[in-house]
Structure formats: C-alpha cells, structure tokens
Structure 1
Amino acid sequence: MTINEGDFIKISYTGKLEDGSIFDTTNEEVAKVHNIHDPNGRYGGDVIIIGVNQMIAGLEEDIKEHEASYKGTVSIPPEKAFGAHLSKQVRDLPLKRFEQKPQVGMMVQYEGKQGKVLKVMGRHARLDFNIPMAGHVITYDYKIEAVLEDLKEKTVGLSALYMAREMDIEIDGTVARVNVPLEFNYSQHWLNTKAQMALDMLKYTELTEVLYVETYTEELLKPDPEEPEQTDDEESDESESDEQEAGVE
C-alpha cells in the first residue's frame, strides 16, 4: 500500500547526526544506551498524519516514496531537516544576567529560549540559541510499521502524539468520547493542546464531534496521604548523614 497525503501511519525511527550521535528515537532501549531517555516519554512508535507538517520535510518526502512495512535509511540536508545554523542566534551576554555562573556546555534559559554555553570570556558568556540539530545533515533509520485504517487507532495514536500517552477513547459512529485523566487538569500543555488535537481528529478523519469527558469521584479527589512528621532524633540523624556525604566536617 503506497503512502498518500492524509494517511495515518505508524512509524518507528532513530535520528542521528553526522558523527553518529543519536538525538531522537522511538526505541526505549536505544534512548537509555545513548543517555537521551525521557522517563515521561512514550516509546514504541509514533502515529503521524502525512502532509500536515508533523515531521521534517525530508523524512516525509522519503516516506511517500515507499509502502507500508518499508525499512530503510535516509540522509537529509539541513534545508529539509532543521534548517541552517544562524549566526544571529549566537550571542554574547554579560555574566551578571545569569543567576549562576554559566559553564561551557551548560544549557540555560534566557528570555524564554534555551541556549548552549559555548565559552565564557571574562565577564561575558557566548550562547548558541540555535536548536542543536540546526546546520546538520540528519540521518534517519526508520520503518513504516503500518498504515492505519481503524478510526479508534487513528484517534488514540493522535492522542499519544500530542500527550505522550494513549488516552482512553470510545468511538460511537462519528463521535469520539475522549476520557480525560484527572491529572491533565493541572497540565498547561493539555490546556494548550486539546483544541488542536480535536481539530486534527475532525479534519483528518470521518469524525463529526469530539467530546472531552472529565470524571470526578470522591475517591479520585482524595489528597495523597501525608507523610508522617519526622522526630527531632530522625532529623538529626539525616542531617549528620547528609553532612558526611557532602564532605562537611
């Protein structure tokens, strides 16, 4: 089955830079070995809609040349990957602007952007605010696991793409009932994402309505049990232990 615009596909992949270093993968074991494991992430493959800019252009172009179950490798130039490395994104900033002295290689937040410290020079630090993959030729080893046809698989897959977990979704004809986990109510990401997720479900599937259902019970709303207070003796013992570990005499 060839891959076309609007298709929902499940893809597994590993992305590498020219030096072979891995920056992204759907394989949890690979992520652990290469120290990029996210304990809150979801592994095992991503569900992607072809033609809606959910992946870099070069990878999508290669996918559309193949069929389901294809497994291969593609190298992608910067202009079809993460863009060029821009010199204007490299800035020298005075050290007084940082809460703590930056060190070479450190990732820091500044004015809402994340930058990597390239060098520290006297009273200034040079930061690179380009994304780490900018300017690099990217190589993807990937497999098209499946082209999805089932409506529930499509919607559950989209929920995992947006929220890094498969949500509980019930399908009744052309209506999707999405059961929202209680903890999502405290997630700014969920508040920012749920409208776009519903829009994608409505636009790219036969759904006509998406219902978000929040369920509350007394049991669910019970606060976590408080930890027992420590006695003075226990606090003293822990303090002595901490001092010994930190090398405090």
Structure 2
Amino acid sequence: MALQKGDFIKISYTGRLEDGKIFDTTDEETAKANNIYDERGLYGGDVIVIGGGHTITGLDEDFVGKEAGYETELTIPTEKAFGSPKAELVTSVSVSKFKEGKAAVGQVVEQDGRHGVVTKVIGRRATIDFNSPLAGKTVIYKYRIDEVITETAEKVKALFAYYTGVRDAEVVIDGTIARVSVPLQISFNQNWFLSKMKMARDLTENTELTEVWFVEKFPKITPEEKKE
C-alpha cells in the first residue's frame, strides 16, 4: 500500500555532501568509519511519522506514495534540506559569558537549547553562529524504507526512542489511552518537558489514541544515597 502522511515508517539512510563527506547515517559501522559515531546515538534505523516534521522536507516529501522496501538515492537542494544561513541566528556576546571568560574560534556552545559555534573573537566580544553547519548546502541521501509500523504500542515505543534516545520503553495500551513509563534519567532531562508535548501531539494526531499518559516515578532516596 502506498505511503501517505501520518504513516509511521522505519528508515535506514546515509546523508552526504556533494564532495562525498558523510554527515549522518543510521549505520553504526559507517558512522565509525567516517568519524561521526555517537555512543549515545541509536543505530539500526529510525522511525518517523511522514509529515510530522521529523526529517528534512525533501526526504519527507519523497516518502509519500512509496512502499516498504523502496530504496533510492536523492539529491536535495538547500531550500528543501537545511535551508539558507540566517543572519538573525548569528549573534555577538561578551566573552564574560564563557567559562573563565575565555572563548575560542571553533568552540561549540549551547544557549537556550540551541547549539552554535564561535566563529570570531575580537577583543572582549565573541561571534556565535547558531545556523546549522549544513545550512546553504545541497545534500544527498541514500535511503531505504525498511518497514511500516502498524501496531500502536510499537508506534509509541518508536516515538519515545526518537525523542529520548531510549528504546524498548514500557508501554501499555488501554483502549485509546497509552501509558508510558518514563525512566528516571529522562525525567531530569531539561528537554523532556517539550519533547513529551510533541510526542503526545504526534500520537494523538496520527493514531487512534486520544490520551498519552507519561508515568514518572521518583523513588525515595535513602540516607546512604544522599551521602553519595
């Protein structure tokens, strides 16, 4: 059956620039061979919702009308990839904002949940570029649609992994309600508040679920644990 918006699919892919440099992949060995391996990353394929904004526009649009097993190599122009660089995403700040009051060109910084790179340091001012490193570039993706996810519990688990990096979450489906047990380390993640709102929206808009309950447990801390 041809895929459409709202379908949950598992995809394997490798993205590269026109010069051949690989910048993203779901294959662990390819990541290691190209020095982009992330030990916190999930390899072996990603599950996304078509039309859910989980990937770049050029890829998202190409999935529609395809079927499981389809594979291709696709060249995606800037406007449907990571966009053009935006001047408003380049800012200048005092170096006093940095640890020990020092900033260096190439230094990666995080501010309000955004990641940027220091591109210039003049006197006591540092210029930070929050544009994607891939902004303004044409990208090439080789991808395969591995499978279509149809079971509701598997859809919930897949999106939880997408938003948290944790696979095989404990999920219980009760009619049109999904209950998701949230690991303690995720509850303390500062990005979790927004992530769970997005996940609930994705599920209620694209499945028969009407409610998503996130169960967060906070066990009592013993005196011995407090000392640690």
Where does residue 84 of structure 2 map in the other structure? 84
With 29-38 and 88-97 compared, the bigger mean Cα shift is at 88-97
Task: Give the C-alpha shift of residue 22 in structure 1.
Answer: 2.1
Aligned letter for 1:142? Y
For residue 191 of structure 2, give the secondary structure of its aligned residue in structure 1. Answer: helix
Task: Give the C-alpha shift of residue 216 in structure 1.
Answer: 5.5
**Residues 87 and 188 of structure 1, relative CA distance in 2, 3 Å threshold:** closer
Task: Give the C-alpha shift of residue 195 in structure 1.
Answer: 2.5
Tell me, in whole angstroms, the C-alpha distance in 1 between the residues paired with 2:191 and 2:29.
26
**Residues 157 and 79 of structure 1, relative CA distance in 2, 3 Å threshold:** same
Q: Say if 2:4 and 2:65, in contact at 8 Å, map to a contact too.
A: no
Tell me, in whole angstroms, the C-alpha distance in 2 between the residues paired with 1:177 and 1:94.
46
Note if 1:174 corresponds to 2:176.
yes
TM-score if structure 1 supplies the norm length?
0.77
Task: Give the C-alpha shift of residue 93 in structure 1.
Answer: 6.1
Tell me, in whole angstroms, the C-alpha distance in 2 between the residues paired with 1:146 and 1:10.
5
Note if 1:159 corresponds to 2:167.
no
Task: Kindly report which structure 2 residues correspond to 1:16-165, keeping only aligned pairs within 5 A, or say none.
Answer: 16-87=16-87, 89-90=89-90, 98-99=98-99, 100-109=101-110, 113-120=114-121, 127-165=128-166
Structure (1 or 2) with the larger CA radius of gyration: 1
- Which portions of structure 1, spanning 4 or more consecutive aligned residues, are displaced by more than 6 angstroms? none
With 9-18 and 89-98 compared, the bigger mean Cα shift is at 89-98
Note if 1:200 corresponds to 2:197.
no
**Residues 187 and 130 of structure 1, relative CA distance in 2, 3 Å threshold:** closer
Aligned letter for 2:16? K
Tell me, in whole angstroms, the C-alpha distance in 2 between the residues paired with 1:26 and 1:111.
28
Q: Say if 2:75 and 2:138, in contact at 8 Å, map to a contact too.
A: yes
After superposition, what is the alpha-carbon deviation per residue over 1:118-156, rounded to whole angstroms, capped at 9, x for unaligned?
455676655433210100001111110111111111111
For residue 85 of structure 1, give the secondary structure of its aligned residue in structure 2. Answer: coil
Tell me, in whole angstroms, the C-alpha distance in 1 between the residues paired with 2:219 and 2:226.
17
**Residues 120 and 74 of structure 1, relative CA distance in 2, 3 Å threshold:** same
With 81-90 and 203-212 compared, the bigger mean Cα shift is at 81-90
After superposition, what is the alpha-carbon deviation per residue over 1:185-234, rounded to whole angstroms, capped at 9, x for unaligned?
3222222322322232222111233222234556xx5565978xxxxxxx
**Residues 209 and 113 of structure 1, relative CA distance in 2, 3 Å threshold:** closer
For residue 84 of structure 2, give the secondary structure of its aligned residue in structure 1. Answer: coil
Where does residue 2 of structure 1 map in the other structure? 2
Q: Percent identity?
A: 47
Tell me, in whole angstroms, the C-alpha distance in 2 between the residues paired with 1:217 and 1:88.
44
Aligned letter for 2:154? E
Unaligned runs of 5+ in 1: 228-249
Unaligned runs of 5+ in 2: none
**Residues 88 and 217 of structure 1, relative CA distance in 2, 3 Å threshold:** closer
Tell me, in whole angstroms, the C-alpha distance in 2 between the residues paired with 1:177 and 1:46.
22
Note if 1:210 corresponds to 2:212.
yes
Where does residue 11 of structure 2 map in the other structure? 11
TM-score if structure 2 supplies the norm length?
0.83
Tell me, in whole angstroms, the C-alpha distance in 2 between the residues paired with 1:111 and 1:164.
20
Tell me, in whole angstroms, the C-alpha distance in 2 between the residues paired with 1:206 and 1:90.
42
- Aligned residues between the structures: 225
Tell me, in whole angstroms, the C-alpha distance in 1 between the residues paired with 2:128 and 2:79.
23
**Residues 8 and 112 of structure 1, relative CA distance in 2, 3 Å threshold:** closer
